[in-house]
């Protein structure tokens, strides 16, 4: 069947996978260099939280507009401009001190400089990085909706979303080594430059399915096999779907609240695990390479397996949304294992590494499915915009979690019990998925295609 239909859509999926890999490589460099940078520039946990919070705040706001940006420019150029901006943002981290000194001079003249040069410089660089990276998921989800029928979308989303795991694995295997041998500045520049390599392949291989010459007629028909119901519910040609209209649907709120409550968990793991290994086990630099590589390797299972899991229920006759929600309930229970990370952590650092790895793997399974609920319930015209709204909510959730973590760690560090701060944060991370699922199911108890 696959031979008859063709498989070019999986080439597009591969491009989305590599873009997401680069996306997560770029955003993780700072967390891996945190111990070195905080020693060089005297940062506290709150200072670091402020830098990461700026990334997430800008990311959240940009996500709202990124979806509209991608819808307006189209997937090809929308994605292209996103990776250009975030790659430039990644590279200029190497010049953060000079940028910060210029900002301090300018803001000091205005009498409003509240942060040191290093903090201001990294805040600026993180903001540019966030501005570009916000385009990744709206563009990737839109490309998936364009190139895959509904029954394959969660699997395709799981595959490209596993690029986040590959990026998270590659970062600790490369960044500490580059920083040690070539300096921390080169770590940002080398990783940031990879995005421009991806851009070449994207511009060469991607076109919308209707314009794609490499796509067979049979595969195009297969991709559009469930397009009839979407056409019936699609807006008229050139009609814009406004944010306020989208916010009138409980389906939009279900997705946004689910993202707000759970995205921060992944951000916390991504930005604070190197600090956790240092604070709890005095592990820095190349010492953390293997534990983090193992942890994030585990998350690949969750991303791909979680994308496949709903098909088990769909094959039993459940509608896509209903099967997805059943799968997500099971997935939401898995992070509860993180509750045991601190109580058992005295045995070996491998215990929390493995338990957090299971929790992070569950997040990726959850992420593959929550993204796909959008293309289940909304016509293609609105997919990127709804993903942008949810992305903004998820980014704001990340701001809350990171600011809370920084405050707790500094508070309990001053008391000599920083492990208590991690216990509190791990507890929050463990239970948020069940809370999110309950709210989502309450808002949208049954599958209902949005009519625009």
pLDDT in tens, 180-222: 899 999 999 999 999 999 999 999 999 888 888 888 888 888 8
- 89 neighbors 25 (Cβ within 8 angstroms): no
Please state, in angstroms and rounded to a whole number, the distance separating the CA atoms of residues 433 and 333: 7
Instruction: For residues 366-385, give the mean pLDDT.
Output: 81
Spatial separation of the C-alpha atoms in residues 194 and 199, rounded to whole Å: 9
Distance CA 92, CA 397 (A): 26
| CA 38 to centroid of chain Cα atoms | 25
Least confidently predicted of 6-10, 123-127, 263-267, 351-355: 6-10
Half-sphere exposure of 355 (CA within 13 A, CB side): 20
Question: Given pLDDT bands bounded at 50, 70 and 90, which one contains residue 85?
Answer: very high
Distance between CA atoms of residues 385 and 66, nearest Å: 8
* 330 vs 226, residue with greater confidence: 330
CATH code, 2-443 = 1.20.1250.20
CA end-to-end span of the chain, whole Å?
35
- The radius of gyration of the chain from alpha carbons, rounded to an integer in Å, stands at 21
257 vs 393: CA distance, rounded Å: 7
Residue 255: count of CB within 10 angstroms of its CB: 27
Domain boundaries, the chain: 2-443
pLDDT digits (tens, 9 = 90+) for 237-264: 445 567 788 888 999 999 999 999 999 9
């Amino acid at each position: 069947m696959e031979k008859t239909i063709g498989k070019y859509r999986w080439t597009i999926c591969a491009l989305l996978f590599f873009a997401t890999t680069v996306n997560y490589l770029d955003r993780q460099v700072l967390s891996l260099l945190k111990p070195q940078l905080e020693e060089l520039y005297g940062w506290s946990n709150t200072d670091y939280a402020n830098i990461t919070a700026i990334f997430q705040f800008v990311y959240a706001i940009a996500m709202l507009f990124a979806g509209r940006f991608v819808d307006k420019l189209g997937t090809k150029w929308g994605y292209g401009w996103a990776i250009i901006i975030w790659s430039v943002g990644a590279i200029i981290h190497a010049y953060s001190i000079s940028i910060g000194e210029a900002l301090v001079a300018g803001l000091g003249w205005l009498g409003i400089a509240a942060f040191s040069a290093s903090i201001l410089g990294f805040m600026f660089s993180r903001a540019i990085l966030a501005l570009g990276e916000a385009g990744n998921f709206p563009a990737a989800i839109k490309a998936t909706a364009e190139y895959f029928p509904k029954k394959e979308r969660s699997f395709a989303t799981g595959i490209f979303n596993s690029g986040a795991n590959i990026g998270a694995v590659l970062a600790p295997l490369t960044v500490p080594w580059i920083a040690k041998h070539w300096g921390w500045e080169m770590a940002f520049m080398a990783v940031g430059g990879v995005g421009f390599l991806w851009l070449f392949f994207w511009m060469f291989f991607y076109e919308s399915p209707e314009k794609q010459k490499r796509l067979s007629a049979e595969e195009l028909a297969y991709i559009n096999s469930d397009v009839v119901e979407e056409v019936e519910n699609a807006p008229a040609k050139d009609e814009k779907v406004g944010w306020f209209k989208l916010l009138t649907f409980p389906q939009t709120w279900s997705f946004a609240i689910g993202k707000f409550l759970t995205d921060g968990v992944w951000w916390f793991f991504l930005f604070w695990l190197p600090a956790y290994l240092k604070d709890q086990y005095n592990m820095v630099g190349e010492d953390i390479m293997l534990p983090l590589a193992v942890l994030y390797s585990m998350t690949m299972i969750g991303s791909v397996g979680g994308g496949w899991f709903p098909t088990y229920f769909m094959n039993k006759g459940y509608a896509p949304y209903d099967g997805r929600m059943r799968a997500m309930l099971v997935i939401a229970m898995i992070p509860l294992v993180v509750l045991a990370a601190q109580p058992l952590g005295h045995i070996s650092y491998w215990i929390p590494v493995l338990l957090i790895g299971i929790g992070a793997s569950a997040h990726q399974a959850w992420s593959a499915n929550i993204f796909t609920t959008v293309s289940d319930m909304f016509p293609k015209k609105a997919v990127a915009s709804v993903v942008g709204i949810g992305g903004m909510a998820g980014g704001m959730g990340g701001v809350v979690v990171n600011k809370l973590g920084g405050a707790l760690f500094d508070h309990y560090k001053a008391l000599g019990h920083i492990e208590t701060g991690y216990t509190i944060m791990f507890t929050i991370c463990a239970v948020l998925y069940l809370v999110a699922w309950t709210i989502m199911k309450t808002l949208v108890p049954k599958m209902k295609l949005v009519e625009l």
